[in-house]
Amino acid sequence: MKLTDKIREARDFIRKITDFQPDIALILGSGLGTLAEDIEDPVIIEYAGIPHFPVSTVEGHAGRLVLGTLEGKKVAAMQGRFHFYEGYTMQQVTFPVYVLHALGCRSLVVTNACGGLNPRFKAGDLMLITDHINILPNPLIGPNYEELGPRFPDMSQAYDAEYRQLALQVGEELGLKLQQGVYIAISGPTYSTPAEVRRLIAYGSDTVGMSTIPEVIVANYLGMRVLGISCITDMSLPDELEPLTHEQVVKIANQTRPKFIALVRGWLKRVSTDAAL
Amino acid sequence: MESTYKLLDEAVESLRQRGFGKPRIALILGSGLGGLAGSFQEAVAVDYRDIPGFPPATIPGHAGRLVWGKLQGVDAVAMQGRFHYYEGHSQRQIAFALWTMRSLGAEILIVTNAAGGINPDFRVGDLMLIADHINMTGDNPLIGPNPDRFGPRFPDMSRAYTPELRELALEAATGLKLNLQQGVYLSVTGPCFETPAEIQSFRRLGADAVGMSTVPEVITAVHAGMKVLGISCITNMAAGLGAEKLDHQEVIDVTKKVQSNFQALVTEIIALIGRRIPQ
């Protein structure tokens, strides 16, 4: 089946449940899923019921779409996302982005938990993603659908500068010091070896994670504006690399959650969703 | 490999029946250079879709046919339009076209492409002789059973771009008073253009130019014992180094502008090969 037909079927399924038209898509990573619980008048749709949606398998990722209002903005939040390391193809990982776009979303806020490579960072920091380095399979490989986007999409400004500026202002008002930097994604599920960490640093990345880039590539392809925020849950410094567990990542993500949620909510409150933007 | 060999034999047989002979040179003509096939004498052209085992080309500006003929008196076969990984073709499918030209008898591969400039000394419109490459596609056309008919399981890549041919290319450029850059070509899968952070990392890795083709074909050709010459046309400066946004139309426009120089250079190189390199 053609991708465009799959998107239509998934969109039509959601439209039959609700005629709510979201403007902003939220992809909520580790630890931030609870933000979806703050959405007012929520319409909750389990991924399992949506045609062509894969099912989330990772602990701490709920696996449902929540549509409703947050800070006065019409949002569609993915509570739980799909990861390459779960065995999904990049096309499966990014399918929800196409559906969120088809529902009307023209902005994407994507969050994740990641490791810090930049020695100026520390665990618990929030970082605005300025750019990314993709070393994984590209989700756009295959036939192109001109009605969705161009064959060779530009990625020179994958993370919207105005959105980032607004996030910085909100951070300042909240008294949060926000880092800014480059994100690189490895496939996982293994964490990096010290030698691998050195390589990622040599590439020029400030953080390393296992998500986000495929969704951001597709969002740009579709012409969406993107804000990316990482929660640095651990430091990946090659000479002092300590054994790392998912529990530690979840622990720091949970500790950081209040300020992370305040930042996203503050940004949502301030952002304009006028068609002109 | 037996089914691949069978399909290859069918492809070669069908091309021979249409008048293809034994070429000395195989040409892969990238974005904008396809017109070179128009100057072939005694030309025969076959659409890819009519060649057993060939997938059809899918992007604008790539014609999608195999052309046989003489250029500067040298028997040559040219791919007018090529197969790209980002189209969804496997690198094995990309290799198939190369194996077909090798099976026809070609011993030299001249491959051209459009690339983004990473080396800050480069300018849009420059031609770059490929000195070496970095395969960043995360894949390799030789993964799978080894096609023993063509080459060894572990092919050497220490001189993928034949020094002798590069010398000839430099000589041809001097004769035409063309400035020819030299550098390392890094291949990504595409289809999206690179981010500025990716370009910075490629620069650190030692790349001078970046593109979405060529490396799978060159690996296949080197494995099959062919001599290789690669030339890139720098159609844009890569992300973060030049214009604000990148688009494919820009690539096509610049290629058109430098087309005549590029064609003259390749034509002159072929003439030199005809005169200097014994059969």
Task: Give every CB contact of residue B167 below 8 A, 6+ residues apart in sequence.
Answer: none
Which pLDDT score, from 0 to 100, does residue B247 have?
72
The pLDDT value recorded for residue A275 is: 52
Catalytic residue of the set B87, B194, B198, B217: B87
Q: Which distant-in-sequence residues (6+ apart) come within 8 Å of A175 by Cβ?
A: none
Give me the average pLDDT of each 10-residue run along chain B (279 residues). 94 97 94 79 91 76 82 94 91 95 98 95 94 96 95 95 97 96 97 96 96 97 98 90 73 80 94 89
Q: Work out the mean pLDDT of chain A and round it to a whole number.
A: 93
Per the annotation, the verdict on B62 as an active-site residue is yes
Identify the CATH homologous superfamily for domain A3-144+153-270. Answer: Nucleoside phosphorylase domain (3.40.50.1580)
pLDDT at A170 over 90: yes
Higher pLDDT: A254 or B228? It is B228
Given CB atoms, is A123 within the 8 Å cutoff of chain B? no
Kindly tell me if the per-residue pLDDT of A61 is higher than 60: no
Selected residue of A90, A132, A155 to mutate for chain B interface (largest B Cβ count, 10 A): A155
What is the chain A residue with the closest CA to B193?
A154
In A63-174, where does DSSP find H-type helix? Answer: 90-103, 161-173
Interchain contact, A133 vs B138, CB within 8 Å: no
pLDDT of residue B33: 77
- Give the pLDDT band (50/70/90) at residue A276: very low
Total-model pTM: 0.91
Q: Which alpha helices (DSSP H) does A116-190 contain, by range?
A: 161-173
Active-site residue identified among B10, B146, B248, B261? B248
Q: Where are the alpha helices (DSSP H) in chain A?
A: 3-17, 90-103, 161-173, 194-203, 213-221, 246-270
User: Would you state the pLDDT for residue B230?
Assistant: 98
d(CA A125, CA A65): 27
Q: Count of domains in chain B?
A: 1
Q: For chain B, what is the largest distance between any 2 Cα atoms, rounded to a whole number of angstroms?
A: 51
Residues of B in contact with A150 (CB under 8 A): 247-248
The single residue of B78, B236, B237, B239 carrying the catalytic annotation is B236
Residue A194 half-sphere exposure toward CB, CA atoms < 13 A: 7
Q: Look at A150 and B87 and tell me if their CB atoms are within 8 Å.
A: no
CA distance B49 to B243: 37
Q: CA–CA separation, B51 vs B7, rounded Å? A: 10
Residue A245 CA to residue A191 CA, distance in Å, equals 9
Options B37, B57, B84, B268, the catalytic residue: B84
Q: Are A68 and A189 in contact (CB under 8 A)?
A: no
* Residue range(s) defining the domain that contains residue B249: 2-276
Our answer to whether residue B223 is catalytic in this structure is no
* Cα–Cα dist A203/A123, whole Å: 21
Q: How many CB pairs under 8 A join A and B?
A: 97
Instruction: Enter the tokens of residue A271.
Output: 């952002």
Q: What are the pLDDT digits (tens) for A47-59?
A: 989 999 987 666 5
B58/A143 CB distance under 8 A: yes
* Nearest C-alpha in B relative to A129: B197
pLDDT of residue B62: 54
Element spanning A268, H or E:
helix A246-270
Are A137 and B189 an interchain contact pair (Cβ–Cβ within 8 Å)? Answer: yes
Alpha helices in A126-245 (DSSP H): 161-173, 194-203, 213-221
Local confidence band at A277 (pLDDT 50, 70, 90 cut-offs): very low
Decide: A4 and A101 in contact? Cβ < 8 Å.
no
Largest Cα–Cα distance in chain A?
54
Q: Is the peptide bond before B23 cis (omega within 30 degrees of 0)?
A: no
CATH number of the domain to which B22 belongs:
3.40.50.1580
A143 touches chain B (CB under 8 A): yes
Statement: residue A219 has pLDDT above 90: yes
Read off the amino acid at residue A169.
Q
A148 touches chain B (CB under 8 A): no
